[in-house]
Chain A
Amino acid sequence: MKLDNIYKEEKKSAFAKLSEIIFTMASRPSGLIGLSILVFHIILAFVSPYIAPHDFKAIDPTLMLQAPSAEYWFGTDDLGRDVFTRTILGGRTALTITFFGSLIALLWGGLLGIFCGLVGGKIDDVVMRIVDAFLSIPWILAMLLIVSLLGTSTEVLIPALGFFYGKGIVRVARAATHDVIAKDFIVSARARGHSNFSIIWNEIIPNVRDAILVEGAMRWSWMLLGFSSLSFLGFGVSPPTPDWGLMISNARGLMSFAYWAVIAPIVGLSSLIIGINLTADAFAKALGIDRSTKAPV
């Protein structure tokens, strides 16, 4: 029932709206857990260079594959490097690259989707078939091709990931636009003679923003997994920079007797992904676009 907030509600500032949304998210256990994990990871990414107990690239053959101890909390890897240090540093690159990658995906996917939804007709048909064609290419093959042609620098990875993860957003944004496009306020704006740009900016975006943001948040966690897979395959971050995907790849052969070297990055990666997923879910619920609610009646 939405009845009770009908009467008293004033126009709120963006900040007030945001804090209300975050408060609503945190009022659910799953939202609170998700948010705490996500915030923990973000803070860790900022402070880890200052709190890391050891040098992440210091190789010491005498310390190879040590079990966890008071000195090396998570043990050491096959080159004698401290796993704890590398684990807390290992999320930084992934987080940064995928965050900006998601922003790019959100931007181009969202705008293209809204545009297609608005203009419809032939342009929409052609663009959507191109998007479909791209969707049918396995992304990892395409990524490998791009990376091997252009290298693994951040300037290549961010736009490439942004491009491949934006395709799905095009569809979501287009569908959300179709929901509002038939409403009379759009017809009214058209009849007044507003430009397409003005209709998109003033009439459509405020109504589809929520759906696209939630989709973007989900994409972020998928992209994180995708990026770690690239690293795992050796096409993401180059050694000796610590990265979870890379660490898992290096340590997986020694798993039977040095499980600590692989468990730590796995926990790091999966907790971050779970955190983002839970947050995105809670975000959707707080905005009122929950797909799992009961049918009315």
Chain B
Amino acid sequence: MADIIQKVKNLSIGFRSKKGEEILILKNISTNIKKGETVGIVGESGSGKSTLALAMMGYVKHGLYTVGGECQFNSSNLLKLKGKDLEKIRGRKIAMIPQNAGQALTPNLKIGYQIDEALQLHSDLDEIQREKKISELLNKVRLPSPETIALRYPHELSGGQQQRVAVAMALAGTPDLLLLDEPTTGLDVTTQAHVLELLNFIAKDTGTSMVYVSHDLGAIAQVSDRIIVMYSGEIVLEGPSRDILKRPIHPYTHGLLKSIPKLSLAGLPESMPGSQPQPGIIQRGCSFFDRCSFSDENCKNNSPHLEFLKDLNTSVRCFNYEKLFKEGQVNQTVNKIKNKSQDKEILNLSEVSISYAKQKLLDHIFNRISDDNPTVKDININIKKGETIALVGESGSGKSTILKSIAGLLRTKDGLIRFDENRNLSSDLKERDPNDLRVIQLIFQNPDESLNPNHTVEEIIAQPLKLYFGLKGEELKKNIIDLLQKVRLGEFYTSRYPRQLSGGEKQRVAVARAFAAKPDIILCDEVTSALDVSVQAAVLNLLQQLKEDFGTTYIFVSHDLAVVRAISDRVAVLYQGRLCEVGPSNDVYKFPSHPYTEVLLGAVLEPDPDIKPKLVAEDIVEERPPEKGCSFQGRCSRIVGDICKKEIPPWQLTDSGNAIRCHIPIKELQKEQF
């Protein structure tokens, strides 16, 4: 067929282990990319999706080698091309947009110069034409005032703008194929939605084929015409985007869609057991066998082939896809969580402000912090025993900062943190007594960093047990095994090191360590955002179960509104370190909302081609909060006049007990948003 621009044929890529065994990262991959279509490759970390995308531009990572097969582009095998021939294709015919544009741009060269470099390499334009082309490109990626942007350095742009520049650079060579490796993963929710919308526009406008690699089904759903689902180095499902998202006929995709929290459903989704096997482990049978709820004896012994179903235009690697086909659409069921909070207040923040300003000499002497416009200001929250409260906001909203102050890791400027109705907690660790330290424990975002790589699981969990309870010997061991069982890990994990565990297992160990202290409050800092999608629901379910068993209170920080919806009883929305809206989670997710909440809710990406994000506000990034007036004035689309710029908005209560801080009366907000 003439309209196929890249043909991947029986591609296998692998590496050699220390023992000399050949271990495959990609197993016999065949697919075609057609002209003008956008293909989404989705998979968890380690599924081989990035390796496949890189192979499509003729690149194999150091340490890996091509075992067999080819990547055909313009009738030449990219994996065999060398030097000059490859240079002619890369950048000119196939361009790549990296995950982190901030790191991909050279920090000490101006934006315009960097795009010019790409143009010099990949086009035959002369200097004057190039200059015109630069502003044309910057215009195309919708950067405001291209002339001034071209004269700036990368660090002067926000993450979203940097990503746009990367897109502009990739378009410089007018490529036929654009490879995007997780291009929106590091961006804020609102920015992410804007960048995806831009990519959609470019795909239509230029007719460029795109390969969009991501772990995020929500993002994939917004851009792709066709989806390839990868698992453990194999294609398990390939077909038209809508069919795959609506009626997935492979158990992995089916389970995945079931386990992703959705905005429309309050409660915890079902979780998928286990985690993706490491490369080289599966010798026989289907690689999804032990996690599959449709498997039988046949799946254990024989590996299924990728079967093409003509009437569905879909390829599937499963023996039992018919069962799923009969089941039809994904019926997501959730376990509704009950709000079991008691009336007793366990933690109260009143008038808390936190400043990152550098202290002057005088301030040092008087031991005070002087800053008129602190990063976090006027935080008043009271948290009841046994509830889960979520702090939500984009990066820079101060949510983690507040968490640090509660943990005693960051000094507050003003305000009081009161524990258990009568104990004032100092925001300085050294002034807290050991019991105050014990009752508040932290779980971090990235378990790779929160577990000491040189300690075994046993040593990790033993630390709080030894420190707070002075346990030793048999009793210590018994407690450790007990805790491991509570987080559903077996006894044999005690002698393992963190590097031998999967992401989900590591996070379970971190959870066990937090619970070892028998705390009253656990601070969860983005605990699921570093985890794979299929593991996320399992960790959320575990946290919920433990909470019910122990009556713990969670303060949950996240940027993911769907996850927050699933687990929290109450939500506090923050912008620039100021509270915008506080209320029961059911009400925060319903209108009327604070204009910022409205923006956030509109930008959430759902794995459903029918739900498009609503882009309400500009994706400007503000560096510091405004001196006066409403914190959201810079981006608000519902601004009512001077009052927003001068006066701090009042708290208004909705009928359901939801507090919104806005100058617009609730009634009007309700009218406008419905």
A binds B: yes
Residue B205 lies at the interface, judged by CB distance under 8 Å to chain A:
no
A11 interface residue (CB < 8 Å to B): yes
Is B15 in the interface zone, CB < 8 Å from A? yes
Cβ of A28 under 8 Å from chain B: no
Which 8 pairs of residues, A with B, have the shortest CB-CB distance?
A4-B17, A206-B454, A193-B437, A184-B450, A184-B444, A184-B449, A185-B452, A1-B63
Is the CB–CB distance between A3 and B17 below 8 Å?
yes
Is the CB–CB distance between B407 and A191 below 8 Å?
Answer: yes
Query: Is A191 in contact with B452, judged by CB distance below 8 angstroms?
Result: no
A203 touches B17 (CB 8 A): no
**Does A149 belong to the interface (CB within 8 Å)?**
no
Query: Separation in Å of the B431 CB from the closest CB of chain A?
Result: 11
Q: Is A4 touching B463 in the complex (CB atoms < 8 A)?
A: no
How far apart sit A187 and B444, CA to CA, in the bound complex (Å)? 10
Query: From residue B524, how far is it (CB to closest CB) to chain A in Å?
Result: 13
Bound CA span A6–B499, Å = 7
- Which residues of chain A come closer than 8 Å to B454, judged between CB atoms? 206-207
User: A4-B280, A9-B500, A296-B62 are contacts. A188–B456 as well, Cβ < 8 Å?
Assistant: no
> CB distance A1 to B15 under 8 Å?
yes
Are A206 and B455 closer than 8 Å at their CB atoms? yes
Asked if A7 and B409 make an inter-chain contact with CB atoms under 8 angstroms apart, the answer reads no
Sampled A-B contacts (30; CB under 8 Å): A1-B15, A1-B17, A3-B278, A4-B17, A4-B18, A4-B21, A4-B23, A6-B499, A9-B500, A11-B456, A11-B495, A11-B497, A183-B449, A184-B446, A185-B452, A187-B450, A188-B450, A189-B463, A190-B429, A191-B408, A191-B429, A191-B441, A192-B438, A192-B467, A192-B517, A193-B437, A202-B455, A203-B452, A207-B452, A294-B62
Prevailing SS type, chain B contact patch: loop
| A1-B63, A188-B442, A193-B434 known; A7 vs B429 contact (CB < 8 Å) | no
Query: B455 — which chain A residues lie within 8 A by C-beta?
Result: 202, 206
Task: Report chain B residues within 8 Å CB of A203.
Answer: 452
Give B residues with C-beta under 8 Å from A. 15, 17-19, 21, 23, 61-64, 278-281, 407-409, 429, 432, 434, 437-438, 440-442, 444-446, 449-456, 463-464, 467-468, 495-497, 499-500, 513, 517
**A1-19 vs B, Cβ < 8 Å mask (1 yes, 0 no):** 1011111011100000000
A1 to B279, CA, bound (A): 12
Total inter-chain residue pairs, C-beta < 8 Å: 91
Query: Do A194 and B15 touch across chains, with their CB atoms under 8 A apart?
Result: no
Among A5, A184, A190, A297, chain B packs the most CB atoms within 10 A around the CB of: A184
Give chain B residues whose Cβ lies under 8 Å from the Cβ of A6.
278, 499-500
B463 contacts A202, C-beta separation under 8 Å = yes
Chain B residues, CB < 8 A from A7: 278, 281, 500
Cα of A202 to Cα of B15 in the assembled complex, Å = 36
- Across the interface, name the chain B residue whose C-beta is closest to A6: B500
Q: Nearest residue in A to B510 (C-beta to C-beta)?
A: A188
Determine how close the nearest CB of chain A comes to the CB of B332; give it in whole angstroms.
33
- Which of A5, A192, A198, A297 sits near B61, CB closer than 8 Å? A297
Chain A residues within an 8 Å CB radius of B19:
4
- What residue of chain B has the Cβ atom nearest to residue A183's Cβ? B449
Contact indicator B453/A207 (Cβ below 8 Å): yes
A188 → chain B closest CB, angstroms:
6
- Is A192's CB under 8 angstroms from B437's CB? yes
Provide the bound-state CA to CA distance between A10 and B18, in Å: 17
| Bound Cα distance A297, B21 (Å) | 23
Known pairs A11-B497, A188-B442, A188-B450; list 11 more (Cβ under 8 Å). Answer: A3-B279, A7-B500, A184-B446, A185-B450, A187-B444, A188-B444, A192-B467, A202-B463, A206-B454, A206-B455, A297-B61
